[in-house]
Chains A and B, each alone.
Chain A
């Protein structure tokens, strides 16, 4: 898995004129949606049978039924919710800090050539660092408390947002900037009315990428050292061969990942109405 790939900006094209609608391309034949549930269900059933017959020993992987009851127990005992709260807090703080830094630096680099010369080389250099490799240094610098985990998340988040916002700002149609000049917009008005809204679609792409990386960074940070949170719960379970708890933890991670992604998509739909109505035409 390459973190660099996740950070690579994806160009989104915005231009008037006929375009194949992505919605139309993704549309599957109607009435067949339920068929897509068959294979996952079969997989769970096979898994359950393998566990019940002893083919799949509990110390390797717990049965789906065990996972379900463990999940209920963990919720009732409050363990799971506490762990989620701790992990969620780390992601939120790290994401907020990293997001502000990424977008802020992209504005500095995107809006002036001086800024680009100052910021971009450093960002490109740091981007090439495998940031999980920084964990040992972070532990030396910040110990094993919350700081290194939050910082790792922040660092991971800042790059996709920086790269995409920067590309978004630079990708704003020069022809629209000319319109701004002919209607005598000031530099501030140009940034507010043309540059920032023009960069927004690409920034939102960066937002989705960075949320994915945020969870990934958190998982890695929590695996290495933690005394609370989902990662701690999983690591602790490993000591006692509790594969059911591990599976519950993994499922919660992915559910949280999907949830945050859904939030961004909601945001995208609201912020990019001007484009959606065109695509659905």
Chain B
């Protein structure tokens, strides 16, 4: 069973929002995560790269508390929100009700309704608040999914390839939106992706997962807004691609 211990009160600012020690996950004979160590600092924007089947999503699911069969140490803040690859909106609830799903009605400074209104406004979806999810476009649905995660004001936001199903233009807009939301709310973000450029464009720190462990960990210090052809990013890109076992020439 995954442990879900709230961050201790002492010295909160320096406490990591998630700390993973010796995390192992086996599926039958296959070891997908192999004694993995990872610490996610407060407000840090991390991109997690890895080939298909490298265990990226397994790690994310463990952090989200969705995997009860991991072994090892896992301490994660109580305040986690997830946006999945598919928006996973509840089809029989209107967009607004999807956002308020599970929000506590009492005790908060603002009621769930007002908080959802604010979150929808932030992702630019106010006018679709009353729509049924199945009538949304892919981009709109993913915005709604982001709003549902953000409305919880998480300390750790887990993004599981949420942009991969979007068309190129929508993706650029949503990238901007995510950066903007991150700079306002400052959650720690773990973005699982297989897109090296996306990782370099968004993250402070890029990890490469290989054979169940963090095989590569590099900070990205290039100031935002970033451009793909920034020389620092290009050299880092080559490093990451080789860490992923791809020759840069043959990729994009």
Contact = CB atoms under 8 A, between A and B. Distances in A.
Given A275-B134, A281-B135, A183 B90 contact: no
Interface stretch (B15-23, B43-51, B77-85, B230-238): B77-85
Given A181-B66, A183-B148, A278 B134 contact: yes
B86 to A, nearest CB: 7
Interface in A236-277: 273-275, 277
B134 A277 contact: yes
B27 interface: no
Interface residues of A, number: 24
B102 A183 contact: yes
A275 B134 CA distance: 7
Given A175-B86, A176-B88, A179-B88, A185 B102 contact: yes
B139 interface: no
Contacts, number: 66
A179 to B, nearest CB: 5
Which of A16, A182, A197, A273 has the most chain B CB atoms inside 10 A of its CB?
A: A182
B90 A175 contact: no
A266 B103 CA distance: 33
A11 interface: no
B65 interface: yes
Contacts of B152: 183
B132 A274 contact: yes
Interface in A67-119: none
B132 A180 contact: no
A28 interface: no
Contacts of A193: 90, 93, 101
A235 B93 CA distance: 51
Interface string A171-187: 00001101111111100
A20 to B, nearest CB: 15
B91 interface: yes
A175 B90 CA distance: 10
A49 interface: no
A11 to B, nearest CB: 16
B62 to A, nearest CB: 13
A273 B86 contact: no
A197 B80 CA distance: 26
Contacts of B102: 180, 183-185, 189
A16 B141 contact: yes
Contact size range, B? 20 to 34
A200 B141 CA distance: 23
B98 to A, nearest CB: 9
B134 A182 contact: no
A14 interface: yes
A2 to B, nearest CB: 33
B70 interface: no
A271 to B, nearest CB: 9
Contacts of B103: 183
A218 interface: no
A217 interface: no
A198 interface: yes
B135 A182 contact: no
A200 B135 CA distance: 20
A194 interface: yes
B64 interface: yes
A178 B101 contact: no
A68 to B, nearest CB: 47
A16 B90 CA distance: 11
Which of B84, B93, B102, B141 has the most chain A CB atoms inside 10 A of its CB?
A: B102
B134 A274 contact: yes
A197 to B, nearest CB: 4
Nearest to B132: A274
A181 B101 CA distance: 11
Contacts of B92: 197-198, 200, 274-275
B133 interface: yes
Contacts of A281: 135
6 contacts: A175-B84, A189-B102, A197-B90, A198-B92, A274-B134, A277-B132
Closest 7 CB pairs of A and B: A183-B102, A278-B134, A182-B82, A274-B132, A197-B92, A274-B92, A179-B88
Given A16-B134, A185-B102, A200-B92, 11 more contacts: A178-B84, A179-B84, A182-B80, A183-B102, A183-B103, A183-B152, A193-B101, A273-B132, A274-B91, A274-B93, A274-B134
Interface of A: 14, 16, 175-176, 178-185, 189, 193-194, 197-198, 200, 273-275, 277-278, 281
Interface of B: 64-66, 80-82, 84, 86, 88, 90-94, 101-103, 132-135, 141, 148, 152
